[in-house]
């Protein structure tokens, strides 16, 4: 418990002890009998000294637990924001005390504060999951000012291209590339996974990871504001600003409901006595005022106003603890309604680690020459397939000078098809069937499974290279889990050829696949699927966040898979999965469904109990103690139910 919670708990205990002591004093008649005989005139009325003393004594526990509420109610009146739960509590308790119901007046304040304490502890628990994530924020960076000398500076002051030093136990403050040293990194705060990651010279590292062993010298590739830790923190901090339908409903409901019940309570206190007097019946004004005050206590919308946002907050916190970053409760609500899952192949269901598995030369070329010309052509491309060809060639000849013969000015990367460039005054084409067809190249179609790169020189086909991508171990289980929770439509989209797409689709158990797609084709297919959806379910697209930004934005919910450190994913996606396990898609949907289920449980329970108790209070069956249960009791139960959203299992 924090200081504020401890103070609140202490005040509650003090107030309870004082009430018990005061009640014992008067129950046991400890005060002298003469106090009942002596009288005091106040405000034109006569009171015995014992009544005045009782009032004064009960004011002590009343102000101990109620001072904050009275102060907030007074501020609300001054700021012309009168109708809130503080105003309802203040009016009801002051009215009860004026009527001589001291114990009930203090009890309302007391139990309300107990409910507030429950809420505060619950929020603290859910906030802890998010604050654990906030620990990725670095406090400083060790900037290398000259070789061997470092200076602690604010990460904001470090420019791109600077050298920083990260010692064991320190957080990496800014994204960069390791230029010397090797170590293991703890990525748990980012991914939820406890398995360390090994890094060596030349590896990219991202901010927020904790260096566990060796000293690392890192050349920064981004400014602090653009690095991964900052992007993630911004995402989490802004999550609460995106409200779901239930939250918006409760906000609007409270604005209309609170003043309405105040006017109804006033009407209950005034109209029945007046009508009874007019009709010649006995009108006990005190009875109707008591009913009106009971009505006010019952009507307080605390359970709804507190528990609904708390449930979403707990759900977001629980999800972030597992490495699932949801940008707002509106996306949590949409996730709970998912009926169709569309996913990219490479980097989502496959590892995205390509290896050359076959080289098939033609027209007088041998394997070594074919691989060499392809590696030189692909040497300036960052595409995963291009890097796999280059790496395969370098593995055979590490001293090779790759791009010495490449005319860089002629290099042209044709989206979705391949590359075209000049090497030794020869026009070299490396790409898929579409590129060959576009350039009118006669070639032999390769029937092997994998990504096929066809190579042509000066219009003559020279062979093909087959690159294969390994399917993730959990991909098939992930789709099986999705089917188990009622998601029947699983669609795979890929830019790969038909044979590869079909092979991967069958292995992972997808319902449907689309092959040979360009980025814009993926958007078109998602739009078609959205149009043809017959139910009110939602469609999510899961991609690796590199080339999928347009379709991530177009889907009902964009989910970035394995997007650690990728700005495009964090910006375009609505949900970011901080590790690349496909099973996390299923986990995200289950967490969202549980959260929304708890939200509606609280709404139905709170409104149902309040409506019943309001009717009982209006007809005089419910007293102040039942009112306390209808307000504080329901709030406590709703809060306890809300914190279940923290547990994601």
In this prediction, residue 477 carries a pLDDT of 93
Residue 640 and residue 464: Cα distance in Å, rounded?
Answer: 63
Mean pLDDT of all residues in 277-295? 79
Helices (H), 102-171: 102-134
Q: Which of the four pLDDT bands, split at 50, 70 and 90, describes residue 565?
A: very low
Mean pLDDT of all residues in 520-541? 85
CATH class of the 324-349+473-593 domain in this structure:
alpha beta
Residues belonging to the active site: 344
Q: What is the CA radius of gyration of the chain?
A: 35
Q: Which of the four pLDDT bands, split at 50, 70 and 90, describes residue 578?
A: confident
C-alpha atoms less than 13 angstroms from C-alpha of 617 in its C-beta half-sphere = 31
Q: Which of the four pLDDT bands, split at 50, 70 and 90, describes residue 276?
A: confident
In this prediction, residue 593 carries a pLDDT of 92
Tokens found for residue 151: 């200076």
Cα 393 to its chain centre, rounded Å, is 43
Mean pLDDT of all residues in 119-136? 57
Tokens found for residue 644: 């279940």
Helices (H), 467-618: 475-484, 498-508, 519-532, 549-554, 567-572, 583-618
More confident residue, 175 or 406: 175
Q: Which of the four pLDDT bands, split at 50, 70 and 90, describes residue 7?
A: confident
| Bridge-based pairing state of the strands 45-48 and 39-42 | antiparallel
More confident residue, 118 or 641: 641
Say whether pLDDT at 128 is over 70. Answer: no
Say whether pLDDT at 43 is over 60. Answer: no
Say whether pLDDT at 554 is over 60. Answer: yes
As a whole number, the mean pLDDT across the chain is 80
Say whether pLDDT at 233 is over 70. Answer: no
Q: Which of 457, 377, 459 is nearest to 418 (CA)?
A: 377
Residue 489 and residue 510: Cα distance in Å, rounded?
Answer: 8
In this prediction, residue 476 carries a pLDDT of 92
- Three-class SS of residue 637? helix
Q: Are 430 and 448 in contact (CB under 8 A)?
A: no
- Three-class SS of residue 41? strand
Tokens found for residue 276: 């009874």
Residue 548 and residue 555: Cα distance in Å, rounded?
Answer: 11
Say whether pLDDT at 318 is over 60. Answer: yes
Say whether pLDDT at 569 is over 90. Answer: no
**pLDDT per residue over 363-405, tens digit each?**
888 988 899 899 988 888 877 788 888 888 888 776 666 666 7
Q: Which residue has the tokens 């029937």?
A: 447
Residue 232 and residue 227: Cα distance in Å, rounded?
Answer: 9
In this prediction, residue 210 carries a pLDDT of 85
Say whether pLDDT at 45 is over 70. Answer: no
Query: If 0-12 CB within 10 Å is exposed, 13-18 middle and 19+ buried, where does residue 68 land?
Result: middle
Q: Which of the four pLDDT bands, split at 50, 70 and 90, describes residue 430?
A: very high
Q: Which of the four pLDDT bands, split at 50, 70 and 90, describes residue 109?
A: confident
Say which range, 96-105, 233-242, 243-252, 388-397, has the weakest mean pLDDT.
233-242
Q: How many CB atoms lie within 10 A of CB 301?
A: 21
Q: Are 45 and 94 in contact (CB under 8 A)?
A: no
| Bridge-based pairing state of the strands 324-326 and 204-205 | unpaired
Say which range, 265-274, 295-304, 420-429, 530-539, has the weakest mean pLDDT.
295-304
Mean pLDDT of all residues in 467-493? 88
Q: Which of 235, 233, 211, 240 is nearest to 134 (CA)?
A: 233
In this prediction, residue 453 carries a pLDDT of 92
Q: Which of 567, 644, 563 is nearest to 325 (CA)?
A: 563
Which segment, 88-92, 125-129, 336-340, is predicted with the most confidence on average?
336-340
DSSP 584-629: HHHHHHHHHHHHHHHHHHHHHHHHHHHHHHHHHHHTT---HHHHHI
Q: Are 467 and 378 in contact (CB under 8 A)?
A: no
Say whether pLDDT at 334 is over 90. Answer: no
Q: Which of the four pLDDT bands, split at 50, 70 and 90, describes residue 546?
A: low
| Bridge-based pairing state of the strands 197-199 and 575-577 | unpaired
Orientation of helix 302-321 relative to helix 102-134, angle to 10°: 20
Tokens found for residue 6: 């401890």
Say whether pLDDT at 612 is over 90. Answer: no
Mean pLDDT of all residues in 268-273? 85
Residue 334 backbone dihedrals phi, psi, to 5 degrees: -65, -40
More confident residue, 610 or 162: 162
Mean pLDDT of all residues in 542-554? 74
Q: Which residues are CB-contacts of 119 (< 8 A; sequence separation ≥ 6)?
A: 306, 310, 635, 639
Q: Where are the domains of the chain?
A: 141-170+174-226, 324-349+473-593, 351-470
In this prediction, residue 251 carries a pLDDT of 58
Q: Which residue has the tokens 């300036």?
A: 380
CATH topology of domain 141-170+174-226: 2.70.150
Torsion over CA: 74, 12, 635, 332 (sign): positive
Share of the chain above pLDDT 70, in %: 82
Q: Which of 443, 386, 450, 451 is nearest to 414 (CA)?
A: 386
Q: Which residue has the tokens 């496909």?
A: 582
Beta-bridge mates of residue 490: 341
Q: Which of the four pLDDT bands, split at 50, 70 and 90, describes residue 553?
A: confident
Say whether pLDDT at 529 is over 80. Answer: yes
Mean pLDDT of all residues in 332-360? 85
Q: Which of the four pLDDT bands, split at 50, 70 and 90, describes residue 266?
A: confident
Give rounded-to-5 percent helix, strand, coil for the chain: 55, 20, 25
| Bridge-based pairing state of the strands 324-326 and 406-414 | unpaired
Helices (H), 79-101: 85-98
In this prediction, residue 464 carries a pLDDT of 94
Say which range, 20-24, 349-353, 569-573, has the weakest mean pLDDT.
569-573
Q: Which residue has the tokens 């504020």?
A: 4
Rounded to 5 degrees, what angle do the CA atoms 255, 260, 266 make?
140
Torsion over CA: 25, 28, 32, 35 (sign): positive
Which segment, 250-264, 503-517, 604-618, is predicted with the most confidence on average?
503-517
In this prediction, residue 428 carries a pLDDT of 92
CATH number of 351-470: 3.40.1110.10
**pLDDT per residue over 61-94, tens digit each?**
999 988 888 888 888 888 877 766 777 777 777 8
More confident residue, 381 or 39: 381
Q: Which of the four pLDDT bands, split at 50, 70 and 90, describes residue 473?
A: confident
């Amino acid at each position: 418990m924090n200081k504020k919670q401890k103070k609140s708990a202490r005040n509650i205990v003090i107030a309870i002890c004082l009430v018990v002591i005061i009640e014992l004093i008067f129950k046991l008649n400890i005060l002298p009998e003469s106090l009942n005989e002596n009288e005091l005139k106040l405000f034109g009325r006569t009171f015995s000294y014992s009544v005045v003393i009782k009032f004064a004594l009960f004011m002590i526990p009343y102000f101990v637990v109620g001072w904050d509420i009275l102060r907030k109610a007074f501020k609300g009146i001054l700021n012309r924001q009168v109708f809130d739960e503080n105003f309802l509590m203040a009016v009801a308790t002051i009215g009860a005390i004026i009527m001589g119901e001291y114990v009930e007046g203090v009890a309302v304040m007391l139990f309300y504060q107990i409910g507030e304490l429950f809420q505060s502890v619950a929020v603290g628990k859910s906030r802890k999951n998010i604050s654990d994530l906030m620990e990725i924020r670095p406090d400083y960076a060790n900037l290398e000012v000259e070789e061997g000398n470092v200076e602690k500076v604010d990460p904001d002051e470090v420019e791109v291209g600077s050298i920083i030093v990260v010692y064991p136990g320190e957080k990496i403050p800014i994204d960069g590339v390791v230029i010397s040293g090797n170590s293991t990194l703890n990525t748990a705060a980012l991914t939820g996974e406890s398995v360390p990651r090994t890094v060596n010279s030349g590896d990219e590292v991202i901010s927020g990871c904790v260096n566990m062993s060796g000293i690392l010298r890192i050349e920064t590739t981004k400014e602090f504001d653009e690095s991964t830790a900052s992007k993630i923190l911004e995402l989490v901090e802004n999550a609460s600003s995106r409200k779901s339908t239930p939250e918006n409903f409760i906000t609007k409901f409270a604005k209309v409901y609170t003043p309405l019940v105040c006017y109804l309570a006033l009407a209950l206190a005034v109209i029945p006595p007046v009508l009874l007097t007019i009709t010649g019946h006995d009108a006990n004004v005190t009875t109707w005022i008591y009913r009106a005050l009971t009505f006010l206590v019952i009507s307080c919308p605390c359970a709804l106003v507190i528990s609904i946002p708390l449930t979403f907050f707990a759900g977001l916190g629980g999800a972030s603890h597992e490495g699932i970053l949801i940008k707002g409760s509106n996306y949590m609500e949409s996730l709970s309604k998912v009926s169709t899952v569309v996913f990219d192949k490479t980097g989502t269901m496959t590892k995205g680690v390509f290896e050359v598995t076959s080289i098939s030369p033609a027209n007088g070329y041998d394997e070594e020459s074919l691989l060499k010309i392809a590696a030189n052509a692909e040497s300036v491309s960052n595409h995963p397939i291009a890097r796999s060809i280059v790496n395969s060639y370098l593995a055979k000849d590490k001293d090779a000078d790759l791009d010495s013969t490449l005319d860089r000015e002629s290099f042209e990367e044709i989206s979705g098809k391949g590359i075209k460039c000049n090497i030794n005054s020869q026009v070299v084409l490396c790409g898929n069937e579409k590129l060959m067809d576009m350039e009118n190249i006669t070639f032999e179609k390769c029937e092997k499974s994998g990504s096929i790169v066809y190579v042509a020189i000066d219009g003559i086909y020279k062979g093909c290279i087959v690159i294969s991508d390994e399917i993730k171990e959990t991909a098939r289980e992930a789709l099986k889990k999705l089917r188990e929770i009622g998601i029947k439509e699983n669609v795979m989209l890929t830019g790969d050829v038909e044979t590869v797409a079909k092979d991967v689709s069958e292995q992972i158990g997808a319902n449907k696949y689309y092959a040979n797609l360009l980025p814009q084709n993926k958007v078109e297919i998602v739009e078609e699927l959205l149009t043809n959806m017959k139910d009110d379910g939602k469609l999510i697209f899961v991609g690796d966040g590199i080339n999928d930004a347009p379709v991530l934005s177009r889907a009902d919910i964009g989910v970035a898979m394995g997007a650690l450190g990728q700005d495009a994913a964090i910006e375009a996606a609505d949900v970011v999965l901080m590790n690349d396990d496909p099973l996390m898609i299923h986990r995200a949907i289950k967490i969202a469904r549980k959260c929304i289920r708890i939200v509606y449980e609280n709404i139905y329970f709170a409104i149902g109990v309040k409506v019943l108790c309001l009717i009982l209070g209006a007809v005089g069956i419910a007293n102040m103690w039942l009112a306390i249960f209808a307000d504080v009791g329901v709030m406590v139960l709703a809060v306890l139910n809300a914190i279940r959203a923290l547990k994601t299992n």
